[in-house]
């Protein structure tokens, strides 16, 4: 594994994030451990957005004036940067509003593919893979975020397909033996997460993809929690489509990415229609542009795309291998320290090599919201609740969990500050607990 950051390097890196200098409750320094919900933004990202609006703002792919040319160049340049960050050709990168929008795009495009004439001219074998109806099956997993569950529920409702799912084991891993039992000739899509936003589990993507390919199923990967923490190369992963969001990647809100194999994007019908995504419009009918423009109707989120590209460049300059090594140290330290507190139960894998980015836990006899309030009172920002993963929490037999989640700017010292604040919980709630 690559070397993690020195203290001096991390201090310089943290200086790039203005918000980290804030003081919050009772003049405490901000300890931000909610990056799994949304990350903070370095100055280069803020400056990139500001510079676009101050110097180049115009509608892209429109107009013959200089600003329109500059805006278009900035937008398409951002696409090339993001594509390079995930090892893809630029023409396979579609800008969306966020990861949820990207996953919905796929689900709705697949339901639109069943409309008469939607796949005219598409290779018949590929058209058969993309056409979903009664008797077909969509497979998800029990650890999915709602964004990679509800769109597939709705696809089944619209098409008459059947939703099936893969269970989670007691140690927080996907039940791959159960996956073998669920996948079959009727499976059209297998949608799954790269990293669980609750359990932190790092799923074995190549193995899962190989199982899906063996039955001819398309694979759709939710990479929202992996792309900010790990080197991600779509060629190595082998999936067919992949979604992630900008705001968890040090980038702006309002921009996400769908990557897809070009032959699939070229065959799929659009999700949203209107200006910019058309080839030819007549009063009675229209034809559509080639991907990625086919899936980018209307004036796009250009400033946000530029900001996302700046975030990708920022992380590339650091090196994603080093980012991953830093994340591993944070996860390992958190797991080791929580294990010393018998009144804390961690959910998910206890091996830091099987985890990425986040650690969720419960405290005996105390609701996670109350834990979160104690932490917030000490200036520690965490997430409490079901984290948009309600079915997973039902499986875990807990109403909610408290989650600490990390980013490139998180320090071991912040983890220790969180632990010190957490140690107030037994006294506040009168728990009989061993001291840390």
| Residues with active-site annotation | 388
Assign 3-class secondary structure to 333-363.
HHHHHHCCCCCEEEECCCCHHHECCEEEEEE
- Beta-strand ranges (E) seen in 103-224 are 137-141, 162-166, 187-193, 218-222
Task: Confirm if 401 and 46 have CB atoms less than 8 A apart.
Answer: no
Integer Cα distance of 85 and 316 in angstroms? 7
Work out the burial of residue 3: count CB atoms within 10 Å of its CB; fewer than 13 is exposed, 13-18 middle, 19 or more buried.
exposed
The kind and range of the H/E element at 309 are helix 302-318
Q: How far is CA 86 from CA 32, 110, 235, in A?
A: 27, 24, 9
Cβ atoms 322, 5 nearer than 8 A: yes
The CA distance from 267 to 130, in Å, is 9
CA 237/CA 197 separation, integer angstroms: 19
| Residues sharing a CB contact under 8 Å with residue 64, sequence separation 6 or more, in sequence order | none
């Amino acid at each position: 594994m690559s070397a993690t950051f020195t203290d001096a390097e991390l201090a310089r890196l943290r200086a790039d994030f203005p918000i980290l200098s804030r003081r919050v409750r009772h003049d405490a320094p901000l300890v931000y451990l909610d990056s799994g919900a949304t990350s903070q933004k370095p100055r280069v990202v803020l400056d990139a957005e500001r510079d676009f609006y101050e110097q180049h703002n115009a509608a892209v792919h429109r107009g013959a004036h200089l600003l329109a040319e500059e805006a278009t160049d900035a937008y398409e340049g951002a696409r090339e940067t993001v594509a390079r960050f995930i090892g893809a050709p630029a023409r396979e990168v579609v800008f969306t509003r966020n990861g949820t929008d990207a996953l919905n795009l796929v689900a709705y495009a697949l339901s639109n593919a069943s409309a008469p004439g939607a796949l005219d001219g598409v290779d018949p074998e590929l058209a058969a893979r993309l056409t979903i109806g009664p008797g077909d099956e969509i497979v998800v997993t029990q650890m999915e975020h709602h964004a990679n569950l509800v769109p597939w529920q709705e696809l089944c409702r619209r098409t008459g397909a059947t939703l099936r799912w893969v269970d989670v084991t007691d140690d927080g891993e996907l039940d791959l033996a159960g996956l073998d039992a669920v996948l079959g000739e009727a499976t059209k899509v297998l949608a799954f997460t790269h990293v669980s936003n609750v359990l932190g589990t790092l799923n074995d993507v190549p193995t899962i993809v190989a199982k899906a390919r063996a039955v001819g199923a398309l694979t759709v990967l939710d990479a929202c929690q992996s792309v900010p923490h790990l080197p991600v190369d779509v060629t190595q992963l082998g999936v067919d489509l992949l979604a992630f969001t900008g705001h968890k990647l040090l980038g702006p809100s309002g921009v996400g990415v769908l990557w897809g194999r070009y032959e699939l994007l070229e065959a799929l019908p659009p999700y949203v229609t209107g200006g910019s995504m058309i080839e030819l419009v007549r009063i009675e009918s229209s034809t559509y542009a080639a991907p990625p423009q086919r899936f980018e109707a209307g004036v796009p989120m250009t400033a946000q795309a530029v900001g996302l590209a700046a975030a990708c460049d920022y992380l590339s300059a650091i090196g994603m291998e080093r980012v991953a090594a830093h994340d591993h140290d944070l996860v390992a330290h958190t797991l080791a320290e929580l294990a010393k507190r018998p009144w804390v139960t961690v959910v998910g894998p206890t091996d830091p090599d099987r985890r990425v980015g986040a650690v969720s836990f419960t405290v005996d006899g105390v609701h996670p919201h109350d834990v979160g309030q104690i932490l917030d009172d000490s200036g520690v920002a965490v997430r409490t609740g079901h984290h948009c993963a309600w079915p997973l929490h039902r499986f875990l037999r807990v109403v909610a969990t408290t989650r600490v989640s990390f980013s490139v700017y998180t320090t071991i010292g912040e983890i220790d500050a969180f632990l010190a604040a957490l140690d107030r919980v037994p006294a506040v709630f009168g728990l009989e607990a061993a001291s840390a």
